[in-house]
Amino acid sequence: MAYSEKVIEHYNNPRNVGSLDKADPNVGTGLVGAPECGDVMKLQMKVNPTTRVIEEAKFKTFGCGSAIASSSLATEWVKGKTVEEALAIKNTDIVRELALPPVKIHCSVLAEDAIKAALGDWKKKQGEPEAAKTVEAASAH
Amino acid sequence: MPLSQPQTKRAEGVPVTSCWNCKGAVSGTHFCGACGKIQPLPAGMDYFAFFGLPRKLTIEPAALDGQFHMLSWKLHPDNFVRASEFERNLSLQRSSELNDAYRTLREPLSRVEYLLEFLNVRKEGTTKQQAPPELLEEVFELNEWLDELRETRTSGGEVALLRGRLDAAAGNFQAKLTEVDAELAALGAQWDAALDSGADEAKRTALLTRMSEVLNRRSYIRNLVDGVQQEIAAA
């Protein structure tokens, strides 16, 4: 299958690969997976508790090129955004930016889930109530 | 789709159609009761009804084999060499449908997948596929080891230790697969019991949903075990 140029670019030069200290109270970790393809994605964000700005984001993804590109793009996008802005990122934004074909849409869903999971974890650590789980992935298919 | 009440006499999902030849009523049989002509597959007929079976997940292999052999003999194109072109085509078509139905129902796994698919519980690409959260940590760790194994292999390092660790992990996931299969079999038995007792739709839907979840888990673990075994073989 042909990948778009942007996917290949992210795949060859993934941004922000690595990990942050899971024990840091300002670091939120999101670990998500998709059973059909076996992809697993770990997304971590360091958030400034005063400004609520995401200062650092790292990822490690085991999966296809589109999954890697989706998570790489997600880390780029969330950096410098506030928690609320990052939570507003939709998988469809990722699909558009990377020109993902329909069979790869689940990769972008995974990335959106990972952002939400990581920020949910951060909120929990900060003693904030986790937002109601918004799982509306079916609409993306 | 509403689930029709289970019936004892006739299998579910058998619509009544009229014979293309004599216009007589035909219900769930492959041949018209009045004129004996071969019939096209009635729209909406499922594979269970094809063999005159209820939609149960426990199927006696010998009974299915018997039905299959009887039907393949009856529908066989050799019986229609002197029939009209329409009937010859029907015989070819019906024989191929019979093979599909038999292959699908013979294996317990494809049987339950099929049941969920035609009851619209499980559809490729539309169900949210979520990895078992309790396994994600282990899966991630496993993938890190696999990465390490690949790197060590490329650099010509010693892979024995990593292989041993991966072997153990693969064995661990294999054991989980066995657990999942047992869970699926137990749910299948509950489904059959629910049909027998005429359980309401809510209860049946709940069972179907749980089966679908277990299948998601199963396919996840299956992919994982396959992947690890491939890597170990290559190392």
Q: Write out pLDDT tens, residues A81-109.
A: 999 999 999 999 999 999 999 989 989 99
Residue A19, SS3 per DSSP: coil
In chain A, residues with a C-beta closer than 8 Å to the C-beta of B140 are 31, 40, 42, 60, 62
In this complex, is the C-beta atom of B126 within 8 Å of any C-beta atom belonging to chain A?
Answer: yes
Question: Which of B123, B126, B135, B139 should one mutate to test binding to chain A, selecting the residue with the greatest count of A CBs within 10 A?
Answer: B139
Residue A57 has pLDDT above 90, yes or no: yes
Least confident segment among A24-33, A65-74, B203-212, B214-223:
B214-223
Least confident segment among B12-16, B32-36, B49-53:
B12-16
Q: Which two tokens stand for residue B31?
A: 């041949």
B67-93 mean pLDDT: 95
Q: Which two tokens stand for residue B165?
A: 């660790």
In this structure, the dihedral spanned by the alpha carbons of residues A77, A82, A85 and A86, taken in order and rounded to 10 degrees, is 50
CATH number of the domain located at residue range(s) B8-106 in this protein: 1.10.287.110
- Round to whole Å and give the CA distance between A50 and B3: 55
- Per the prediction, chain A carries an average pLDDT of 88
Confidence of residue B185 (pLDDT cuts 50, 70, 90): very high
- Round to whole Å and give the CA distance between A66 and B124: 19
Contacts for B32-40 with beta carbons within 8 Å, 24 or more apart? B37/B87, B38/B75, B38/B80, B38/B87, B38/B90, B38/B91, B38/B94, B39/B90, B40/B90, B40/B93, B40/B94
In chain A, residues with a C-beta closer than 8 Å to the C-beta of B217 are 35
Predicted pLDDT at B131: 62
CB contact under 8 A, A35 and B220: yes
Q: Which amino acid type is present at position A40?
A: V
Residue B7 has pLDDT above 60, yes or no: no
Instruction: Supply φ then ψ for residue A82, to 5 degrees.
Output: -80, 165
CA of B130 to nearest chain A CA: how many angstroms apart?
Answer: 6
ipTM of the complex: 0.75
Residues with Cβ within 8 Å of B112's Cβ and at least 6 positions away in sequence, in order, are B57, B184, B188, B211, B215
Predicted pLDDT at B228: 86
Measure CB to CB from residue B129 to each of A34, A40, A42 and give the nearest one. Answer: A34
Residue in the block written with tokens 């007792």? B197
Predicted pLDDT at B55: 93
Residue B29 has pLDDT above 90, yes or no: no
- Round to whole Å and give the CA distance between B175 and A19: 30
Query: What are the tens digits of pLDDT across the range B152-174?
Result: 888 888 888 888 888 898 898 89
- Per the prediction, chain B carries an average pLDDT of 86
